[in-house]
Structure 1
């Protein structure tokens, strides 16, 4: 009953006092590429797209990813593009633009990524229950991060015990001089994708969609705001606040890295 007797108990007390379970609602769709691949081809934390409203995990269609640059200081060619066909051409005087961040969409829909997405995709029962009750909020994002730490530490201990001295530590791959390559993985902040096109031994195109690119995306051509912009709508601002505490809670709950996000 004493809130200071444990970090998790203290956090839950803060959630209750600050009503963090109602702050910063997300879009209800969560993307994970799958984390910590295993020799059998599976993942410690499975991937997919979790739809909170229907409580259904669907397979990811990578071909359905598009980046919309309508409101980015980047040339947009009047249409969203798949990363393999993406452009990174600065246009600092572009009318209506307000960010260097493109707006990625999955089948035209806004997506949230991060620890909350990984735990939902991997069927962590406490996170799934909390999201079913409260949605994606400051509370459930931080809760997922705390639970993920508790799950990953014993996994790391097991992996360390499996190390064999003198064994190979990397898998050699053939030289990549022609074709396309796609790398999808989970960084701490969420789903990270790299797309490369090689031609005649040179890089012809290289595009990255970082986790914060998903979460902090601007409005797309239809005027639909990204996950953070939606979460900030209606955030309470107290009288005299120049940097509202509620806004800080919401932004930090997404664990942003704007340096990674700028194309």
Structure 2
């Protein structure tokens, strides 16, 4: 997790030298050993090569196999069904491209991601203001907490529709065959299995990036902050699509709005009464007699890997 003081406009504050490169490669080798011994019980490349749900069902080693057996016992494949509409802004910018694709996978059909279609609905949030694009949005708490609302989270929508983001969305939009099959399945098992897939693929990518690291390269480009201007940053954070909208006037921040991944997934209902991805996924979750914190609810909520701290505006 990079320290905030390591990053500044134009790059990073410390250029890695040859010793840093050796240390990075050594750390990655150690991490691979742990993953292959414990999580997967096999080479990462073997899990990353799985292409179908039948391939996944046949996985027999490591904690991944233990999870799959538990998922089968508890019916987690059918539990917590999402909207099957998946958003990714594309992960890991490398120069002019990104390592994974950006797009909207809408029930099996890949469409371009148009950030101009993002709006934030406030009808059921304890926030004051009108539905707007984040660039024109405000964050004004409703201190009276009107009865129609029930969340400190706004309700982001893309083209008026609910989307899900995260590891499953990221891998499916990128076109990995197993992730596409899991995206169609759409439940708790799909999200966790896709997160395992992403761990394997990311480790491989990191090793390739570290091998290609050139200490003689440029790691910081000169950058002059404008006196006036506006911009947007859209990236993939660990939990999904993250957007920052910034406006500068006379050298100072005039507006700064964020839509975090859990805001997408945990949004309340919108003005049409349509619930967010998690709220819809919880419908029909079984509650056993005497359960005050139902196990099925915990499985569904945790499958989205929530960060409520980032979600509260």
Q: TM-score under structure 1 normalisation?
A: 0.93
CA contact under 8 A between 1:68 and 1:76: conserved in structure 2?
Answer: no
The CA distance in 2 between the partners of 1:2 and 1:83, in whole Å, is: 44
CA deviations on 1:128-180 (whole Å, 9 max, x unpaired) are: 12333x2x110101111000000010111111112222433233322132121
Equivalent runs, 1:15-30 vs 2, <5 Å: 15-30=71-86
Q: What SS is found at the alignment partner of 1:20?
A: coil
Hey, what does 2:150 align to over in structure 1?
98
CA–CA distance in structure 2, aligned partners of residues 32 and 5 of structure 1? 30
Counterpart position of 1:64: 117
Mapped partners of 1:255, 1:2: distance in 2: 25
Aligned pair 1:110/2:168, yes or no? Answer: no
1:81 aligns to 2:135 (yes or no): no
- What does residue 221 of structure 2 align with? 171
1:1-263 matched pairs, under 5 angstroms: 5-39=61-95, 41-52=96-107, 55-77=108-130, 80-95=131-146, 96-132=148-184, 134=185, 136-263=186-313
Summarize deviations over 1:202-255 as a string: whole Å, max 9, x none: 211110000000000001111111000000001000111110000000000000
Q: Which runs of 5+ in 2 are unaligned?
A: 1-56
TM-score normalised according to structure 2 size: 0.79
> How much does 1:73 deviate?
1.2
Query: Contact 2:245–2:258 at 8 Å: present in 1 too?
Result: yes
Question: Post-superposition shift, 1:21?
Answer: 0.2
Say which is worse superposed, 58-67 or 93-102, in terms of deviation.
93-102
> Does the 8 Å CA contact 2:241/2:260 hold for their aligned counterparts?
yes
Q: Which has the larger radius of gyration?
A: 2
Q: 2:141 & 2:251 partners in 1: Cα distance?
A: 26
- 2:19 equivalent in structure 1: none
CA RMSD of superposed structures (Å): 1.6
Distance 2:74 2:177 in 1: 24
Change (3 A) 1:87 1:215: same
Q: Which runs of 4+ in 1 moved over 6 A?
A: 1-4
CA–CA separation in structure 2 for the residues paired with 1:240 and 1:101: 30
In 2, Cα distance between the equivalents of 1:3 and 1:36?
29
| SS of residue in 2 equivalent to 1:112 | coil
1:5 Cα deviation from its structure 2 partner: 4.1
